[in-house]
Amino acid sequence: MLTQRPRGTADLLPGEVEQWKRLEDIFRAVSRTYHYQEIRTPVFEHTELFARGVGETTDIVEKEMYTFEDRGNRSLTLRPEGTAGVVRAYVENKLYGLPDLAKLYYVGPMFRYEKPQKGRWRQFHQYGVEVLGSEAPEVDVEVIAFGAEFLTKLGLKDVQAEVNSVGCSECRPRHREAMVEKLRPVADRLCKDCQSRLDRNPLRIFDCKNESCQAILREVEAPTVLQCLCDACQSHFSAVTELLQEVGVRFVINDRLVRGLDYYTRTAWEFTVPGYSTVAGGGRYNGLVAQIGGPETPGVGFAGGIERALLVLQEQGAAVTERSPLTAYVAVADAQASQTATKLLQELRCAGISADRDYQGKGLKAQLKAADRVQAKYVLILGEEELKSGTVSVKDLATGEQVTVARNEIVSYLSDLQNSSGVVEHDQM
Ligand code: HAM
């Protein structure tokens, strides 16, 4: 136990972390170009927020939440998703009082007690955006285009947006009635879950993984919400699909698409890659702000799983593994040189030059091998000779060339080399 991480969690080791950082950098860069600002909300919230916000009849709330009582007997829950917390923060901090739309993005860990499998974790990480304050279909399109552009920039191939409308409080009851009418007579042939969905949230039956339930839906010609949309939802959906075409986002209409959270109204979509579970998903949620006690405010957003995006990237052979090379490896060729090496190392690092040394008492040969392993550009050798003459031997590992540089000029010597080769150290960016 002590040496095992909890089921459904992962350690990110050096090597993998670089991939995550690359994804986050790209996500932040796209956020900048679309003019979104970062928001950070707590990792846990009052349980009630998710129960109300995400929906009492969802799998997330019914069986997947990490809920606990704190020492003050409050029921708290590790956030299973990001939208509810962002909306809570929007209301609590009265961001609706600001003159402009709230265009927000976030990146962080989420928690769901799911059965761990490929691409499905109990602690996973989402990148996501939320726009609060506009009903315009242009905003749905901006958010979908944001997602599409991010996934493309990341390097994912064959990504497609599947788009649907799940209607509003006017058309949904009509759809519900029509579903119940068609399915009630065959209810006993539905799976147990779908029998209860029929009473509580019939739309969910479209999401059932049982082929037999899907066959029944086809057999009774169960109506999709798209077929039941009210005029306002219909014209919103038409505007969204027209604009998507206009801006060149690849999409298909999937009238059976149902999302696993209850807050959606009108547009709902998922980004999929054939052969994989959903890479990202989102939609409009015009009732959520009011539902948790804020003023009537429309919203729209999406989120994707970092683990999933990286898994697909890797399996498509597009993962980028890069390690930033070290500029200088200080090799201690004489025991007396250790103190000078420590001082030199500090000067190099303060000047923004990445540098490292051996602390394990390795011989010179082993230190040169270590410099190779970390892909150092230069080895700075400090031996007896160098100590005596106040110099450093600088070996270029790519060319094998070696020059002698005065000890007090070494930092500016390496800085000049770095500038002329156009190498910018990561920590200076
Ligand atoms: P969601 O579809 O529940 O939506 O999750 C979004 C994405 O998170 C999924 O497409 C998937 O990539 C990833 N994900 C979900 N569960 C797991 C898991 N157990 N392991 C790994 N990855 C997972 C939401 O969470 C909404 N808040 C999205 C949204 C934002 N809608 C409007 N704004």
The predicted pLDDT at position 423 comes to 54
User: How far is 125 from 131, CA to CA, in rounded Å?
Assistant: 20
Residue of 166, 261, 269 best suited for mutating to test ligand 1, as the one with most atoms within 8 Å of CB:
261
Residue of 154, 278, 285 best suited for mutating to test ligand 1, as the one with most atoms within 8 Å of CB:
278
The reply to whether ligand 1 has any atom less than 6 angstroms from the CB of 83 is yes
Ligand 1 centroid from CA 317, angstroms = 24
Closest C-alpha to ligand 1, atom 1: 281
Ligand 1 centroid from CA 6, angstroms = 21
The predicted pLDDT at position 427 comes to 42
User: How far is 155 from 221, CA to CA, in rounded Å?
Assistant: 39
Q: What is the mean pLDDT of the chain?
A: 94
Q: Torsion angle of alpha carbons 148, 126, 268, 136, nearest 10°?
A: -70
Closest C-alpha to ligand 1, atom 13: 305
Ranges of residues in the chain with a pLDDT under 50 are 426-429
The predicted pLDDT at position 426 comes to 45
The reply to whether ligand 1 has any atom less than 6 angstroms from the CB of 356 is no
Query: Domains along the chain?
Result: 17-171+229-319 (3.30.930.10), 327-423 (3.40.50.800)
pTM comes to 0.92
Q: What is the pLDDT of residues 26-46, one digit of tens each?
A: 999 999 999 999 999 999 999
β-sheet with 328-332: strand ranges across: 355-357, 328-332, 378-382, 391-396, 402-406
Closest C-alpha to ligand 1, atom 12: 305
The reply to whether ligand 1 has any atom less than 6 angstroms from the CB of 82 is yes
- Do residues 172 and 225 lie in contact, with contact meaning Cβ atoms separated by under 8 Å? yes
Could you tell me which residues are beta bridge partners of residue 128? 106, 303
